[in-house]
Amino acid sequence: MVRTAAAACRRIRRPRPPRPSPATGAGSRNKRLRAQARGRAPRRKRGGAPVTAFVVLGAVLIAGALLFVVPPLLRRSSRTGATRDAVNVAVYRDQLRELDADLRAGTLASDQHEKARREIEARLLADVGGGEAPAQSPRHARAAALALGVAVPICALAVYVAVGNPRTLLPQTSEGGNQHGLSAQQFEALVSRLAARLKDNPEDAEGWMMLGRSYAVLGRFGESSEAYAKAAARMPRDAQLLADYAD
């Protein structure tokens, strides 16, 4: 019983840890929030990653399209001459068989049969042995494949420059210039010219959409919203327009 009382006294006398005051708890929370903010801050510096990803993806798609188009074109050109010769030989053989059948049936005289046979053989030799078109077709096909391989990337780049988002093409306009050699003053002059043209042609929905994008690049967000609203009124179901307008 004495031991039980002594143990109870020790439990009663054991000091309790002090509770943190509200001010101390708030200060620690603020420190944690500042530390988390400092830890997350570097993640926002992404630079031109979206543009680079778009360029890489576009290059992969163009290369895939060329792989589907160019090799069949080259293979078909190499087989064109042999295929045509085989078809010609088969046709002339059928004609010779018909001549022999007419001779056996008595509907064609022997001299007529011999004359027709010589004509068929002469045409066969002229078509199979003297044609120069099969020798030229591979060169033409290679030239066409080369032209296609050059034209597809150029056309893709031209389309992107024409209808792409100016915020990715002109990343430094607000600083007074950009990497394409177009200064801020020149860009503003082009935007003013577009706005003046739209006053004469207010039903140009594509023009209003381009004007809204340009105003957004210049930081004139109120005018950008008005231009997007006019474009949306004329193209209410355009998904790209609605996405840009929401941004």
Summarised one tens digit per residue, pLDDT across range 164-180 is 554 444 444 444 444 44
CA 48 to chain centre: 18
User: In the predicted model, what is the mean pLDDT of residues 146-153?
Assistant: 70
On the question of pLDDT at 93 being above 50, the answer is: yes
On the question of pLDDT at 138 being above 70, the answer is: no
Domain ranges of the chain: 52-163, 172-246
Compute the distance between CA of residue 148 and CA of residue 143 in angstroms, rounded to an integer: 8
**Tens of pLDDT, residues 187-246:** 888 888 888 888 888 888 888 888 888 888 888 888 888 888 888 888 777 776 667 666
Specify the higher pLDDT residue, 1 or 58.
58
Residue 210 identity: M
Q: What pLDDT, on a 0 to 100 scale, did the predictor assign at position 82? A: 56
CA dihedral 17, 22, 28, 33 (to 10 degrees): 150
Q: What pLDDT, on a 0 to 100 scale, did the predictor assign at position 32? A: 58
Specify the higher pLDDT residue, 17 or 154.
154
∠ CA(180), CA(185), CA(187), 5° rounding? Answer: 50
pLDDT band at 186 (very low <50, low <70, confident <90, very high): confident
Q: Which two tokens stand for residue 84?
A: 């045509």
Integer angstrom CA distances of residue 195 from 190, 201, 207, 208, 242 = 9, 10, 9, 8, 20
Q: What pLDDT, on a 0 to 100 scale, did the predictor assign at position 133? A: 45
Contact 88, 124 (CB under 8 A): yes
Q: What pLDDT, on a 0 to 100 scale, did the predictor assign at position 70? A: 66
Q: Positive or negative CA dihedral for 227, 230, 233, 234?
A: negative
Specify the higher pLDDT residue, 89 or 17.
89
Contact 209, 228 (CB under 8 A): yes
Q: What pLDDT, on a 0 to 100 scale, did the predictor assign at position 244? A: 67
Return the CATH fold of 172-246. Answer: 1.25.40
Lowest mean pLDDT among 3-17, 65-79, 115-129: 3-17
Q: What pLDDT, on a 0 to 100 scale, did the predictor assign at position 224? A: 85
Q: What pLDDT, on a 0 to 100 scale, did the predictor assign at position 140? A: 66
User: In the predicted model, what is the mean pLDDT of residues 48-59?
Assistant: 64
Q: For helices 221-234 and 205-218, what crossing angle results, to 10°?
A: 160
Q: Which helix (H) or strand (E) covers residue 21, if one does?
A: none
Integer angstrom CA distances of residue 73 from 76, 118, 121 = 5, 37, 33
* pTM of the complete model: 0.30
